[in-house]
Structure 1
Amino acid sequence: MRTKLYTILFLLAAVTVFGQQKQVQASIDSTKIKIGSQFNLTLKTKVDTAFRVSFPEGRSFGQLEVLESYPVDTIKDGAMYELVKKYGLTQFDSGRYIIPSLPVVINNKMIKTDSLRIEVNNIKVDTLKQKMYDIKPVLKGQSNTSFWLWILFAVVATGAAAYGLWRYLKNRKPAEPKAKKEEIISPIERASRELKELEKRELLEKGAVKDYYSQLTDIARTYIEEAIHVPAMESTTSELIDAMRDAVRKKKMNLSQETFEELEKILRTADMVKFAKSRPLDFEIAEDRKRVEKTIVVIDRSIPEEKEEDDIHTQLWLDAQAKKKAKRKKTIIILSSVAAILVAFGVSVYVFGMEYLRDNFIGHATKELLDGEWVKSEYGDPGVIIETPKVLKRSPLLAKMTQQNNPHVREASVFAYGSMTDNFYVTVSTTTYKDSVQIDLPATVELAMKSMEAQGATNILVKSEDFNTDKGISGIRAYGNMSMPDPVTKTPVRVYYELLFFKQKEGLQQVMIMHKEGDEYGTQILERIKNSVELKVN
């Protein structure tokens, strides 16, 4: 009985151990290398001889470059195969890197490997034999931005002034002698006068047949619009004839079918000349001129005397036409203004660039922080004195998480502005411990990286170095970049970060600053905050 019990316990233990074993094991032959040195990543799996296994391939794994992908070694062990896949990896920049989880496909089932860490160290240079020089500062080029800005301003101002003057001259009525009364002429008189003036221009002799027909039909259309109150100028030939028939019927005018046909024939000929580039013969042009004059006279004679109700109807029609013209005029002004703004904006983008306009006119989030009023204040205990664009607000939730994750913590305080997914993020945290705890700053950096990973950070590049404040307090500075998911699109956004850690007998002080990679204003804010850090020593 006891033998059977041992046998069952042994089998259960074997099953448990087997269940705990990773189906794919990942390992590296070194955890620290020099810049550019190669280290090997090994993936192992043990499978049935009938299984198909596919190992990952690529030019890079995360931030690490794949130098060589070695053939798979196969070791037969009874009915099983042990497959060993090796990769030669390297990195040409110092820092702490993460080899991400890699997918291995076994019989169409994807299995992820464990992620691993590798530290890439700088090669020390003997500065006693070779003198080192500081990096020269960036030289600012000469800019003539203000000159072009003044030119743009002058062009826009001149255009606006010219447009205003044109509108004024157009709308201004010429002054007439006081003794001379305004001459009031009827539509038929005006049309007859304009026909005589048209002949004096001698357009046909100059070969301007198109202009001649255009002005001839405009005279006829203007007369019809003023005399019969039909919107002739904005109507097509067919619309004008239909509107005239309707108006003639309402006014009970005695117009023959021949008159309509004559008028339509003239308008059709003018359309052919203007749009189809047709050219009538000289005698046809002369006949069209006579037709217009005759048609106007016939229409004028057929118009009955207007009664009082007709006068009211006429006034309403004139008011409606005035409103249409005013609306059309307003539309033209609005469209002209929009076009002028778009042209000015396009010229500005071409001359100055979109970035300059965004920073100086449209607005830039981090530039507004940089140019705003900064605040210098003390946070936490032991205190951190720091200057920031905005007042940092206490975050009880982050402080509570810090205390829950470490039982040795007596008190924790966290103050923050923004979040890790914003354009700019800064936090100050202070921690005091219950007992005398040996604080390992490099280990603290590792914990901070794990915390960032827990918040969604990927492809983290870490560099670290000693750091001293202006008053000589020593600490450690960790910096680099990482990818954070955009809160809306969920696409990865690359950000730059810096962490400052300082330890005291019973406390830890930490400052974290983060902004989107490539944001020059974010970089300036970071440097200003970092240079303002002061610590209160217990």
Structure 2
Amino acid sequence: MKKWIVGCLLTLGLLEPVCAQRVEASMDSVRKKIGSEFLLTLRTQVAPNTRVQFPKGQQFGPLEVLESYPIDTVKKSDRWEFVKKYGLTQFDSGQYILPKLAVRIAKKDVYTQPITVEVMPVQVDTLKQKMYDIKTIEAAPSPNNGLGWWIVLGIVGALVVVFILYRILKNRKTTTPTATPEPLVKPIEKATQKLMALDAAQWVSKGDVKHFYSELTEIVRTYLEEEIEIPAMERTTSELIAILELVSQNKNLRLSPETIATLEQVLRQADLVKFAKVRPDIQAIESDKNRIASTIITINKAIPEIEEVTDELEAWNAQQRELARQKQEAKARKQKQLRIAIASVATVGILIGGSIVYFGMDTIKDAILGNPTKEMYEGEWITSAYGDPNVELETPKVLTRVDSEKWAKNTYAVVKEMRTFTQGSLQEPLFVLVGTNYYKQEKNPYYNQETTQIDYDKVLEGITKSWENQGARNILYKNDGTFEIAEGVKGIRAYGTMTVESEEGEQHRRYYEILLFNQNGGLQQVAVSYCEDDPFGKKILERIQGSIKLQLFNFNG
């Protein structure tokens, strides 16, 4: 008996974990509208330390997984409850079955029960809510629209760039850090220091006598400018000595003629060394240096504490300073003008280059130089009828009738009646011709007696000969076969190229198209010609041909 009880207990212990391995699946609602979220909840209870893996994926059967929420864990007595939620949806109405989902518990898959859901459509009340037709396709605006505004904005931008560059260059010049001012030193002290530095440089021992005399004369000239305030650096030796003699006449400056003569002798010796390549000996060089030092000391002793120069010398100095100021201002103006010119040229170059890249070379050329066919195509067109029976069509300008006397005399041998209207000529950017002709049937080379039809090839040959009389050469044409307009009237289309000499004597190629319509012994024709590389000429041709309406011939024979 004891063994039986123990066996039952063991059996129950083994079955308990298996019976606990089940998963409950529930849905917050089984009916929702299209696109709404169905909240699916999976719930299971397991023993501690049991591993549970819920299903993953973007699609559970026909339902799409919008969101996979985190797992909630709750402890209940000696067991753990795991709760996993999913957000599901479907964008088509109808009934759908959520299939069995596998939850892995302790390395075994436990499946949920399938759930049926219904996705309801959204009802639209067309009586309360206005319905709209699908919009038609609209052409995108041409990149050439608003070109004028782009040019204006470009010019304004160029001016702004020029102003900014000017300010940068100006600020760079004005904000250049200045050197720290040197402490005030008397001219005699500065001259003495420079003479000592000249000795230390040892230019004579290095063989550069010319450099020695250049610095020696610069020392004495600088001293004279700072001490006596005369323009010594810019004057020749003769001019400097003349100024010193003028200054020495002042009673307040005790400068002897011997001192001036000594200075003149050294300066002239320096001129010979610098310009005549004279090379004095070592003793003469040392003597010249000592005489300059002695002259500087003598001049310094001769200058009173308050120096007064003559009115004539002061006026001369003021004149020289004014000339120097004007020269500096003129140089500054030229530099400023040069900077502005460089900045302007660079800005205009960038503007033109960018415009060419964005709009294209042809568009820029047309905007600046103008294009007659572009102006005609974009201008106001005129719809009118010409001839009898008439040919109605759109043209950029009104066609004018051609005087019949201008046609060749042999034309009247085969034509009963002819009305011709044109715009422009073969030498102009656009040529348009509209004509209606009645042909004679007797002995008429243009008329085929067997088929009672006009021979198109011979008519085209006649047209090309007429153009040759107007200066056209190398006329090539091709018959493109049947051409039909909206009224059901059929004719032929011929096209080709030719070379025409302009009034200025230049040769250029032209493209042309001719439409011929034969009705009851009569012929209606439309011809258009333009420069071969003109895109607006092609647009004009297509618009004219698309607007043609023909009145039927009633004449027969």
Which TM class, normalised by the smaller chain length? 0.3 to 0.5
Give the number of the structure whose alpha-carbon radius of gyration is greater.
2
When normalised by structure 1's length, the TM-score is 0.45
